[in-house]
């Protein structure tokens, strides 16, 4: 019985690179950018609508996290450690709702981090970046062609004449 030989794999081409996802390519750049704003953990951005709720998630976004400066070694005890301040940008009157739910939001963010990272929330009442702030335009009525308006005028005149004759 003849033995079947497996075909040899083709040698790797120096011109073909393995496929990579966009997340693999963009993650290092995003990590550097978000790290400057204190948001090195991208999970808070990814889960933001779940943290604050669907309604508030549309009108607010985490701006940055300001971590306290490192304490002196003698003060480095866990009891002396202070939490960070989460800056949240919110549009319009929803700031009152956000302030009302701030304790709940702090608890949810800390649960996401796995430790008491955030101590306070600072609310920045301003439009969200990257949104079109202009009000929606009402559609302009289309200009009627002259022939249609003449026939309409004639029809209205006949109607008016018919009503007068009754």
- CATH number for 81: 3.30.300
The edge-to-edge listing of strands for the beta sheet with 118-125 is 60-66, 84-90, 118-125
Mean pLDDT for 82-107 is: 91
What is the span of the domain harbouring residue 104?
31-125
pTM of the model: 0.54
The per-residue pLDDT for 120 is: 93
- Determine, yes or no, domain membership for 111: yes
| Model confidence at 74: pLDDT above 60 | no
Would you mind telling me the total number of residues written for the chain in this entry?
166
- How many domains in the chain? 1
Instruction: State the alpha helices, DSSP H only, in 60-120.
Output: 94-100, 102-113
Mean pLDDT for 112-136 is: 80
Segment of 19-23, 64-68, 121-125, 136-140 carrying the highest mean pLDDT: 121-125
| Model confidence at 107: pLDDT above 80 | yes
Per-residue pLDDT of 25-50, as tens digits, reads: 666 665 665 555 555 557 788 888 99
- Determine, yes or no, domain membership for 38: yes
């Amino acid at each position: 019985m003849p033995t079947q030989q497996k075909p040899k794999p083709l040698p790797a081409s120096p011109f073909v690179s393995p496929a990579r996802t966009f997340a693999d390519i963009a993650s290092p750049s995003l990590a550097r950018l978000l790290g400057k704003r204190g948001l090195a953990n991208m999970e808070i951005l990814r889960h933001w609508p779940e943290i604050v709720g669907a309604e508030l998630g549309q009108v607010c976004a985490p701006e940055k996290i300001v971590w306290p400066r490192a304490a002196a070694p003698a003060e480095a005890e866990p009891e002396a450690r202070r939490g960070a301040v989460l800056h949240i940008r919110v549009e319009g009157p929803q700031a009152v709702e956000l302030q009302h739910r701030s304790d709940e939001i702090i608890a949810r963010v800390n649960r996401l981090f796995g430790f008491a990272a955030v101590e306070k929330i600072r609310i920045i009442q301003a439009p969200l970046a990257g949104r079109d702030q202009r009000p929606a335009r009402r559609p302009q009525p289309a200009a009627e062609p002259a022939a249609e308006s003449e026939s309409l005028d004639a029809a209205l005149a006949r109607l008016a004449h018919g009503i007068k004759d009754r």
